[in-house]
Chain A
């Protein structure tokens, strides 16, 4: 065990139960009542300053039923701690951490609505991903996956889904559409239900007004809703609502095999789908104890950086377009389209690739792929230079970006920020440097940081990260030629399909193929948290396996969701119009935020 972990165990000896080191993470089992004391000491004495994630596991049939899981990270020691506590089925309540970490607010709200866990001390447990009136807790194992609760009555000709609730539960569904008769054609619904409950509905002063922005608003690319209180043009309070793209990813995962999740994982952060793929595959490989081949390692690193370029291009292009810089948008989207077509040559799809595989990759590079790669990189260098020339010193751009949407380092860490937003405040925290994974340990690159944490810094950090990624891609092309020859998949029949000719020739391979497709790879029981540096920040996968071909639980620590938790800080005190560039520079991705 690591020395730091031993010190923690010694210091907390009286307050914790069992503890162990699992996949590089210190796991502490505690009594839920001791949580604030343990976390306070971890934060004060061992500098665990980031609360990464709060989630729960529903062990239906066991007692106590729920297992709460917290992940903490120390930016000083670069280590993670996982805290686990069990609570029973009747009125499950644990102490809240909102007093210690701002980021706990959104995470506890999510955990509350998904599992019905109460957090004593968190007074804001409104719905966040679901909507007002939703009955039940969808991630509990006894909630049927397909039980829909529509908010609006369906059109004529469409059967409303049958809503049956177990005896003892609240009898009638509270949502308007469930079980309602169909809506005849031409009927106009005047009173549509409001899916959210704003934090405030009454102005705090006589001369202020409350203005709602979104969720279908051109400036909030992605579906986000912001309820603001305005003093003239100045935002006094902002209440950020997400969840409009909650597609039930985590519930969906529990009914598919480990391999079949890859397309779902792609659609989390759809701007850089390959990073999600590889992070998910790495998490499953950690559970299986697999080391991928050198070629797969270099290719994954190359494609992850390539995706990062595409993601940052999308973010900057959209942010610039919203400020009226249409030319820069067209330049950046043109390069992005080259990248999409280039990746389609390799993977068969332009946006959502399904290219990662547990134990390797779907296929090797086609002929001439690396030659075209260099052409695209050269072209993007030129276009990025033009974008720098167009906007960097542009008066309009500077006026709207500089000193707007500022966030300080301490606030950013308090609210759980990672990725370009945290780096723009001056903290060189990057998982690729801090805890190198894939081939990042062998590469030469810098971690660009900003100074003030304003919109301009976020823009510039992303532009510099594109440069660094291109620099890395060029090194990786060389590494692929020198050290990266050989197979792309590991030779492990637990997860990798046997070669097709063998499937047709021998019965063992045929059975192996059949079992892998029908039952999925048998992943050993256990849990693991693996995080990669996504384009927006720390993208973590917390997987729980009970030893079958289907995951028991998949939880995503998505950077966008955490960023939304503190987004009001970057909006309050600035002008109403500043919401547009600030949101552009945060780069909220709906699929990842709402899952």
Chain B
């Protein structure tokens, strides 16, 4: 019987082999890296928090999308998840948190209240957080099912992968 043949990871002799170099576009490479390392800041206010808890725990597990580790300081996070109703009283806090986040940053409006004010059409509720901060992905639902949240995160990942990612100045 022949001895099993081991395939060396590096070709013998120290010569460079396959997959030492890849060629790609800078934006694609950085987008690929960024979309799998989202650090969400949970700006959790209302009922949607219940589904946010469900999404981030065992049965749904957002860890699979690289978006599991909540950062509770805006300075360490790049994804602002606005989970629940934002009222006019809350709006300055939301804006402050968003302004404290470093570029690049993305915003998800989680639930119909964050998207449009929902069925709270009155003096207290902001009729959609896009009046205060720019929003990348809107997840409807009151509250959305966890599957919809996961779909929203995946859509954001697609968006990040397709975006330009300037790293030195606006053109590069």
A: residues with CB less than 8 A from B are 130-131, 138, 143-152, 154-155, 158, 175, 177, 185, 188-189, 192-195, 215-218, 221-223, 243-248, 251-252, 263-264, 267, 270-271, 314, 317-318, 329-330, 333-334, 336-337, 340, 350-352, 590-591
**In the complex, which residues of chain A have a beta carbon less than 8 angstroms from the beta carbon of B90?**
195, 215, 223, 244-245
Complexed CA–CA distance, A59 and B54 (Å): 45
The answer to whether B87 touches A146, judged by C-beta atoms less than 8 angstroms apart, is no
B117 — nearest CB in chain A belongs to which residue?
A247
The answer to whether A247 touches B124, judged by C-beta atoms less than 8 angstroms apart, is yes
In this assembly, does B16 line the interface, its C-beta being within 8 Å of a C-beta of chain A? no
Q: For B145, give its contact among A151, A195, A336, A350 (CB under 8 Å).
A: A350
The answer to whether B57 touches A351, judged by C-beta atoms less than 8 angstroms apart, is no
Q: For A270, give its contact among B46, B95, B126 (CB under 8 Å).
A: B46
- Mark contacts of B115-158 with chain A using CB atoms, 8 A cut-off: 1 yes-contact digit, 0 otherwise: 00001111111110011111000000011010000000000000
**In the complex, which residues of chain B have a beta carbon less than 8 angstroms from the beta carbon of A194?**
92
The answer to whether A155 touches B89, judged by C-beta atoms less than 8 angstroms apart, is no
Complexed CA–CA distance, A195 and B131 (Å): 18
The answer to whether B59 touches A334, judged by C-beta atoms less than 8 angstroms apart, is yes
The answer to whether B57 touches A246, judged by C-beta atoms less than 8 angstroms apart, is no
The answer to whether A337 touches B59, judged by C-beta atoms less than 8 angstroms apart, is yes
Complexed CA–CA distance, A245 and B47 (Å): 10
The answer to whether B58 touches A333, judged by C-beta atoms less than 8 angstroms apart, is yes
Complexed CA–CA distance, A143 and B124 (Å): 12
The answer to whether B58 touches A146, judged by C-beta atoms less than 8 angstroms apart, is no
Please give me the 10 A-B residue pairs with the lowest Cβ-Cβ distance, nearest first.
Answer: A270-B47, A248-B122, A248-B124, A218-B72, A333-B57, A192-B92, A131-B89, A154-B131, A195-B89, A247-B120
Q: Could you tell me the distance in whole angstroms from the C-beta of A180 to the nearest C-beta in chain B?
A: 12
B134 — nearest CB in chain A belongs to which residue?
A155
Q: A152-B91, A158-B130, A223-B45 are in contact. List 20 more A-B contacts (CB 8 A).
A: A131-B88, A150-B91, A151-B88, A151-B89, A154-B131, A192-B92, A192-B95, A215-B93, A218-B42, A218-B72, A221-B49, A222-B45, A244-B89, A246-B87, A251-B122, A252-B120, A330-B58, A333-B53, A333-B54, A334-B58
Complexed CA–CA distance, A582 and B49 (Å): 20
The answer to whether B54 touches A340, judged by C-beta atoms less than 8 angstroms apart, is yes
The answer to whether B44 touches A221, judged by C-beta atoms less than 8 angstroms apart, is yes
The answer to whether B53 touches A149, judged by C-beta atoms less than 8 angstroms apart, is no
In this assembly, does B96 line the interface, its C-beta being within 8 Å of a C-beta of chain A? yes
**A591 and B57 in contact, given A248-B125, A251-B122, A252-B120 (Cβ under 8 angstroms):** no
B: residues with CB less than 8 A from A are 42-47, 49-51, 53-54, 57-59, 70, 72, 84-85, 87-97, 99, 113, 119-127, 130-134, 142-143, 145
Complexed CA–CA distance, A189 and B94 (Å): 12
A594 — nearest CB in chain B belongs to which residue?
B87
The answer to whether B51 touches A350, judged by C-beta atoms less than 8 angstroms apart, is yes
Q: Could you tell me the distance in whole angstroms from the C-beta of A153 to the nearest C-beta in chain B?
A: 9
Complexed CA–CA distance, A528 and B42 (Å): 40
Q: Could you tell me the distance in whole angstroms from the C-beta of A507 to the nearest C-beta in chain B?
A: 33
**In the complex, which residues of chain B have a beta carbon less than 8 angstroms from the beta carbon of A152?**
91-92, 95, 132
Q: Could you tell me the distance in whole angstroms from the C-beta of B150 to the nearest C-beta in chain A?
A: 14
Complexed CA–CA distance, A190 and B27 (Å): 32
Complexed CA–CA distance, A285 and B56 (Å): 40
Complexed CA–CA distance, A318 and B132 (Å): 29
Cβ contacts A to B, 14 pairs, < 8 Å: A131-B89, A145-B122, A145-B123, A150-B91, A150-B131, A155-B132, A245-B45, A245-B87, A245-B90, A247-B85, A247-B124, A264-B119, A270-B46, A590-B45
- Classify the interface of chain A: helix, strand, loop or mixed: loop
The answer to whether A267 touches B47, judged by C-beta atoms less than 8 angstroms apart, is yes
The answer to whether B87 touches A244, judged by C-beta atoms less than 8 angstroms apart, is yes
Complexed CA–CA distance, A337 and B72 (Å): 25
**In the complex, which residues of chain A have a beta carbon less than 8 angstroms from the beta carbon of B87?**
244-247
**In the complex, which residues of chain B have a beta carbon less than 8 angstroms from the beta carbon of A221?**
44, 49
Q: Could you tell me the distance in whole angstroms from the C-beta of A247 to the nearest C-beta in chain B?
A: 5
Complexed CA–CA distance, A330 and B57 (Å): 6
Q: Could you tell me the distance in whole angstroms from the C-beta of B155 to the nearest C-beta in chain A?
A: 21
Complexed CA–CA distance, A221 and B45 (Å): 8
Complexed CA–CA distance, A24 and B73 (Å): 52
B133 — nearest CB in chain A belongs to which residue?
A155
B53 — nearest CB in chain A belongs to which residue?
A333
Complexed CA–CA distance, A155 and B113 (Å): 18
The answer to whether B88 touches A149, judged by C-beta atoms less than 8 angstroms apart, is yes
A158 — nearest CB in chain B belongs to which residue?
B131
Complexed CA–CA distance, A252 and B113 (Å): 15
Complexed CA–CA distance, A143 and B122 (Å): 11
**In the complex, which residues of chain A have a beta carbon less than 8 angstroms from the beta carbon of B119?**
252, 263-264
Q: Could you tell me the distance in whole angstroms from the C-beta of A527 to the nearest C-beta in chain B?
A: 23
**In the complex, which residues of chain B have a beta carbon less than 8 angstroms from the beta carbon of A189?**
95, 99
The answer to whether A216 touches B93, judged by C-beta atoms less than 8 angstroms apart, is yes
The answer to whether A195 touches B92, judged by C-beta atoms less than 8 angstroms apart, is yes
Complexed CA–CA distance, A334 and B57 (Å): 8
Complexed CA–CA distance, A189 and B98 (Å): 11
**A271 and B96 in contact, given A155-B131, A248-B120 (Cβ under 8 angstroms):** no
Complexed CA–CA distance, A273 and B132 (Å): 30
**In the complex, which residues of chain A have a beta carbon less than 8 angstroms from the beta carbon of B49?**
221-222
Complexed CA–CA distance, A20 and B29 (Å): 77
**In the complex, which residues of chain A have a beta carbon less than 8 angstroms from the beta carbon of B143?**
350-352
Complexed CA–CA distance, A217 and B122 (Å): 26
B57 — nearest CB in chain A belongs to which residue?
A333
Complexed CA–CA distance, A587 and B142 (Å): 22
**In the complex, which residues of chain B have a beta carbon less than 8 angstroms from the beta carbon of A188?**
99
Q: Could you tell me the distance in whole angstroms from the C-beta of A222 to the nearest C-beta in chain B?
A: 8
Q: Could you tell me the distance in whole angstroms from the C-beta of A472 to the nearest C-beta in chain B?
A: 23
Complexed CA–CA distance, A152 and B42 (Å): 21
With a 10 A CB-CB cut-off, give which of A144, A264, A351 has the most chain B CB atoms: A351
A251 — nearest CB in chain B belongs to which residue?
B122
Q: For A352, give its contact among B91, B94, B142 (CB under 8 Å).
A: B142
A267 — nearest CB in chain B belongs to which residue?
B47
The answer to whether B122 touches A351, judged by C-beta atoms less than 8 angstroms apart, is no
Complexed CA–CA distance, A270 and B49 (Å): 9
Complexed CA–CA distance, A223 and B85 (Å): 11
**A314 and B53 in contact, given A145-B122, A154-B132 (Cβ under 8 angstroms):** yes
**In the complex, which residues of chain B have a beta carbon less than 8 angstroms from the beta carbon of A251?**
122-124
**In the complex, which residues of chain A have a beta carbon less than 8 angstroms from the beta carbon of B50?**
270-271, 314, 351
**In the complex, which residues of chain B have a beta carbon less than 8 angstroms from the beta carbon of A248?**
120, 122-125
Complexed CA–CA distance, A309 and B69 (Å): 28
Q: For A246, give its contact among B84, B124, B132, B142 (CB under 8 Å).
A: B124
Complexed CA–CA distance, A352 and B118 (Å): 14
Complexed CA–CA distance, A92 and B119 (Å): 33
B121 — nearest CB in chain A belongs to which residue?
A146
**In the complex, which residues of chain A have a beta carbon less than 8 angstroms from the beta carbon of B93?**
195, 215-216, 244
**In the complex, which residues of chain B have a beta carbon less than 8 angstroms from the beta carbon of A244?**
45, 87, 89-90, 93
Q: Could you tell me the distance in whole angstroms from the C-beta of A266 to the nearest C-beta in chain B?
A: 8
Q: Could you tell me the distance in whole angstroms from the C-beta of B41 to the nearest C-beta in chain A?
A: 9
**In the complex, which residues of chain B have a beta carbon less than 8 angstroms from the beta carbon of A318?**
53
